[in-house]
Chain A
Amino acid sequence: MNISGLQSGLTRLAQRVSSQKGRFPGASNQQPGTVSEHSRRIGLAMVSPSVAVLLAWMVVPLAMTLWFSLLRYNLLYPGESDFVGLENFYYFLTDEGFAAGALNTFLLVVSVLAISVVSGVLIAVLVDGPFWGRGVVRVLLISPFFIMPTVSALVWKNLLLHPVSGVLAALWRFFGAEPVDWLAEYPLETIIMIVSWQWIPFAVLLLMTAMQSLDQEQKDAARLDGAGALATFWHITLPHLARPIAVVVMIETIFLLSIFAEIFTTTGGGPGYETTNLAFLIYTQALLQFDVGMASAGGLVAVVIANVAAFFLVRMVGKSLTDKA
């Protein structure tokens, strides 16, 4: 997993949360004039190196991408780099792949989120009680998360789903059915399944640990109040999990917006544009058509989309994160 990506994503979200709500203690409580000019300058001097590095780290690539997106810059035609204004954006947005890519990205993110959160909650609740072999079961549940996306996609493609030699095909044949060529017939659904398989453990991990902080006396009190298993789940457990679920949704969204390896190893975006998401579309533009200008424009569009998504996410779930329980 891309750890630095996760971190920067989180910091960005945190910044956004704080700037929106103005709830960060420093931001809201500090009164002007309480910190002396001198110590403020020292503070500035102390943080400036890291701020400078961060700025360079973010601003330079962004500026370059911005600049490239305004050029006709194709590696097949070296030496030619005219300024073409917003032409790249126009072509990218009107490309037939864009609408499909946007829709697929949306479908992929939403379905994987739904699947992983729902099964994550159910699994976390199921393995919360004591049973024989719980430790082993928990480790097994989490282990898919540690497998590289490329590897897991290959395992799914060649060992499980292969229409001739796959495990599922053998199972189908055992029951006398015709084996299904999953990746050809249900390409997007299959990718959703593979990605969900990878991300359920993440949800389980977070929610399982959250379950352990659920106060036993609260459950006892609910039992005395006459709540059965279902009512306890609905009125006590689920509200308790609201915050970790919000965390799962946020982090998963960041990563799911840029799913690439699974698509690359299994379907290559096809058939047609059926499994092409925005990340894959940009890849095809940049590296299959060698059009750096267009790919940069696509990248910027993706950044805008990701930020719009993050904005609404923070609107929706950020509140439960900043609310102190």
Chain B
Amino acid sequence: MSDLTIKNLKKGFDGTEIIKGIDLEIKDHEFVVFVGPSGCGKSTLLRLIAGLEEVTSGHIHLDGQDITDVAPAKRNLAMVFQTYALYPHMSVSKNMSFALSLAGADKAEIERKVKEAARILELEHLLERKPKALSGGQRQRVAIGRAIVRHPKVFLFDEPLSNLDAALRVQMRLELARLHKELNATMIYVTHDQVEAMTLADKVVVFNGGRVEQVGSPLELYHHPLNQFVAGFIGTPKMAFLGGSVKAADASGVTVALACGPEYCLPLDGSALKAGDRVTLGVRPEHLQIAAAEHSPFKVRLDVSEHLGADTYCYVRTESGELLTVRAPGDFAGQFGERASLIPDLAHCHLFDADGRTLPKPGASARAA
């Protein structure tokens, strides 16, 4: 068992609060990914969990036991650092066995565990090498191996793949997913990479400014973001935001007049809105369609297009000057400066009120209440 519970955790450095009260529950065997903009405190939270920083207030429980003040080595956690932090003068096998030999484990036992980890990570032929004689991916695997041999309850990863090239990153991502299944371990993983977050996570935690914005499965965050921040943060290319005001609203629909011209009636619960309120419409690139200029009242002018083969990301500018991204088919032939119009998929649009909160679907608020 390894359930991690964080209760109202706060951390400040020299008076400035970095972590502003975090509550989080991580279940046994879960793969949890932390995402958030740079400087929002993801690494700090990870270091707090590992015990490398002292908490200012709040509690961390592992399996019901309060580990807030327990020494790092006694917490039964292992961390993989972004820079790997391998011991440069020790061989690969020494790197991996360091913790065990410090703990005074039996020689045969150490060797068995190192062999086992090396087998899982395919490092067997490198055991006698020094870290400097390894490639980036191999170093990464040694760093993971160092964590594995300790059989920790929770693995902590701080952007472990960010120093690798794109191809290696894909490969290591798959290996991590395999490792998670094979070890059946609880893992907490910090990343800046959307793809890593979406593919690896059972649960994604979105941070912003030292607070949790939303917790949920990758698809839940994608389809039902709680607020504008999460909606804009999850998904690449980013969701586009269009300003507008409410024309009419009731519990079954909201009619919005966008600043760039068109009016749309969205099937959302607008009972909290009244005519004239400022709102923001959010629409993802994949929920927009480009049509001939006369097909729709949503007039745009084409900007640059990025041809990726299977898809084309076409940037378009509205009449009020907002820049949107549209995901078009790979053979899209629109030219720079051409006039066109957009047809949004209204069922997948999001509407955010003046405070950035997402409007619920009709009936959803009734269920919540």
Contact = CB atoms under 8 A, between A and B. Distances in A.
Contacts of B51: 224
A224 B132 contact: no
Contacts of A226: 73-74, 99, 102-103
Contacts of B99: 224-226
Interface stretch (B1-9, B27-35, B76-84): B76-84
A222 B103 CA distance: 12
A222 B52 CA distance: 11
Contacts of B85: 215, 217-218, 220-221
A25 to B, nearest CB: 17
A215 B82 CA distance: 12
A225 B51 CA distance: 12
B81 A217 contact: yes
A221 B85 CA distance: 7
A225 B73 contact: yes
Most chain B beta carbons < 10 A, residue from A225, A239, A242? A225
B290 interface: no
Contacts of A134: none
B87 A224 contact: no
Given A217-B81, A218-B87, A235-B87, A224 B50 contact: yes
B72 interface: yes
Given A217-B81, A217-B83, A224 B52 contact: yes
A231 B102 contact: yes
Given A224-B50, A225-B98, A236 B78 contact: no
A309 interface: no
A227 interface: yes
B79 to A, nearest CB: 6
A94 to B, nearest CB: 48
A227 B102 contact: yes
A283 B150 CA distance: 64
Nearest to A325: B88
A227 B89 CA distance: 16
Nearest to A220: B52
A221 B150 CA distance: 13
Contacts of A222: 87, 98
A226 B78 CA distance: 11
A9 to B, nearest CB: 28
Contact of A224 (B79, B82, B89, B103): B79
Interface of A: 215, 217-218, 220-227, 231, 235-236, 239-240, 242, 324-325
Interface of B: 47, 50-52, 72-74, 77-79, 81-83, 85-90, 98-99, 102-103, 132, 146, 150
Which 3 A-B pairs rank lowest in CB-CB distance, beginning with the nearest? A226-B73, A225-B99, A217-B85
10 contacts: A218-B87, A220-B85, A221-B146, A223-B72, A224-B77, A226-B73, A227-B102, A239-B87, A239-B89, A324-B132
